[in-house]
């Protein structure tokens, strides 16, 4: 990256001054195993998400639309993982050419920011359902949600399409790398571009999510205080816990990456980072990107294990598979009860 945004020559000088950093073999092995596990869990979890969504007999609502699109986004992300796994298995060597490297980067960051925007939509949707229950219900129609999702995909696509137009491969330590910091550090005004992307793609959505979930928690806690019967049933307690789980997941997955890259961009706009600083940033970038990509495997846990309705559906399926043939009457009764519960109208702890 650049030490200064005044001239591209200063960027190039700084880039050539430091020796190329090539991670140790242990790092490539660890990342290869990490993305392999991520591929398995993300594929299974999000496929299950779509399967359960398609099994619903009830009319789909706005929250379901957002969650389905989020699951589709995560599944598209898994299409890029085999190439990434091969890259790390070959010790940071990309064998597939420039075109597939650009496409992989596009899918990676399309998922990242599309997922953030969709989670923001879910937050706003929950805010309208819980806090503004009787105000403008048409804003929460399924058709309106589909239009919003189309806008989200368009925004995320516009934000990441420049990755298809720049060179993302380059020689480092005798290997052809892909999506590494060294391949984009010569881009003019990159610090300002990245800082702008961080603000639009993360900090503004995070502010919206924080506002929505604080308002939801306050509303549910007030309702529980004013209506002890609902509090005893645990609906509001579970809803408050669910909002906390989702918010923590977003903070844990996305905050480290955006804090890390933003602080380095600001530093290099102010002064020329030393070679050890640049090396430390590249190492931290690998760690924070990996943490950010974990979101595609965490999303299904939020959808189906934090929601009572989906959790009961999943447990019902698992019980049906595990039950012995002799327990057929009990199994049928359990399935009927689970289906009845699933068909019930969503309470204030609706899926996030």
Q: Among 281, 275, 285, which residue's Cα sits nearest to residue 14?
A: 275
Task: Write out pLDDT tens, residues 265-323.
Answer: 999 888 888 888 888 898 899 999 999 999 888 887 767 655 555 667 667 766 766 66
**Greater pLDDT, 180 or 232:** 180
Strands 169-172 and 175-178: antiparallel
Domains, the chain? 8-343 (1.20.1070.10)
Q: Report angle CA 18, 21, 23 to the nearest 5 degrees.
A: 165
Task: Write out pLDDT tens, residues 27-50.
Answer: 899 999 999 999 999 998 888 878
**Greater pLDDT, 223 or 208:** 208
Instruction: Determine contact, residues 194/265, Cβ cutoff 8 Å.
Output: yes
pLDDT at site 126: 82
Q: Is residue 232 very low, low, confident or very high in pLDDT (cuts 50, 70, 90)? A: low
Instruction: Determine contact, residues 109/172, Cβ cutoff 8 Å.
Output: no
In the predicted structure, residue 90 carries a pLDDT above the cut 90: yes
In the predicted structure, residue 5 carries a pLDDT above the cut 50: no
- The dihedral built from the CA positions of residue 19, 20, 25 and 27, taken in this order, carries a sign that is positive
pLDDT at site 338: 42
Cα–Cα distance measured from residue 132 to residue 144, given in angstroms and rounded to the nearest whole number = 17
pLDDT at site 12: 40
Cα–Cα distance measured from residue 83 to residue 264, given in angstroms and rounded to the nearest whole number = 28
pLDDT at site 331: 45
**Which whole number is the average pLDDT over 213-227?**
78
Q: Among 198, 114, 184, which residue's Cα sits nearest to residue 149?
A: 114
Task: Write out pLDDT tens, residues 154-191.
Answer: 999 999 998 898 889 988 878 899 988 877 877 778 88
Instruction: Determine contact, residues 351/63, Cβ cutoff 8 Å.
Output: yes
What is the C-alpha R_g of the chain?
23
Task: Write out pLDDT tens, residues 139-157.
Answer: 778 888 999 999 999 999 9
In the predicted structure, residue 332 carries a pLDDT above the cut 60: no
Per-residue buried b or exposed e for 287-309, using 16+ beta carbons within 10 Å of the residue's own CB: ebbbbbbbbbbbbbebbbebbbb
For the whole prediction, is pTM greater than 0.85? no
pLDDT at site 83: 92
pLDDT at site 48: 81
Cα–Cα distance measured from residue 134 to residue 223, given in angstroms and rounded to the nearest whole number = 16
Q: Is residue 247 very low, low, confident or very high in pLDDT (cuts 50, 70, 90)? A: confident
Tokens of 97: 């050419």
């Amino acid at each position: 990256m650049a030490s200064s945004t005044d001239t591209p020559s200063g960027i190039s000088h700084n880039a050539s001054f430091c020796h190329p950093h090539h991670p140790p073999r242990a790092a490539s092995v660890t990342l290869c195993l990490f993305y392999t596990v991520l591929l398995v869990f993300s594929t299974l979890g999000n496929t299950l998400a779509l399967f359960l969504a398609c099994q619903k007999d009830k009319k789909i609502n706005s929250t379901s639309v957002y969650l389905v699109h989020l699951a589709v986004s995560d599944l598209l992300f898994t299409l890029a993982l085999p190439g990434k796994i091969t890259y790390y298995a070959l010790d940071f060597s990309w064998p597939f050419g420039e075109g597939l490297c650009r496409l992989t980067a596009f899918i990676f960051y399309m998922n990242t920011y599309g997922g953030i925007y969709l989670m923001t939509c879910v937050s706003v949707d929950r805010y309208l359902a819980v806090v503004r229950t009787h105000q403008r219900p048409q804003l929460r129609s399924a058709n309106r949600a589909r239009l919003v999702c189309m806008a989200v995909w368009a925004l995320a696509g516009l934000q990441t399409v420049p990755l298809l137009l720049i060179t993302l491969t380059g020689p480092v330590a005798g290997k052809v790398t892909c999506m590494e910091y060294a391949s984009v550090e010569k881009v003019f005004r990159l610090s300002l571009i990245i800082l702008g992307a961080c603000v639009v793609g993360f900090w503004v959505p995070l502010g919206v999510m924080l506002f929505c979930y604080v308002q939801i928690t306050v509303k549910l806690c007030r309702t529980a205080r004013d209506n002890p019967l609902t509090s005893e049933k645990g609906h509001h307690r579970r809803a408050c816990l669910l909002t906390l789980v989702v918010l923590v997941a977003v903070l844990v997955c996305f905050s480290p990456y955006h804090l890390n890259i933003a602080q380095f961009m600001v530093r290099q706009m102010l002064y020329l980072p030393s070679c050890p600083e640049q090396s430390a940033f590249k190492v931290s970038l690998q760690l924070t990107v990996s943490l950010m990509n974990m979101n595609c495997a965490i999303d299904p846990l939020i959808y189906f294990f934090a929601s009572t309705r989906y959790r009961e559906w999943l447990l019902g399926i698992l019980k049906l598979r595990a039950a012995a043939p002799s327990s057929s009457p009990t199994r049928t009764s359990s399935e009927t009860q689970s289906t009845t519960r699933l068909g019930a109208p969503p309470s204030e702890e609706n899926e996030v």
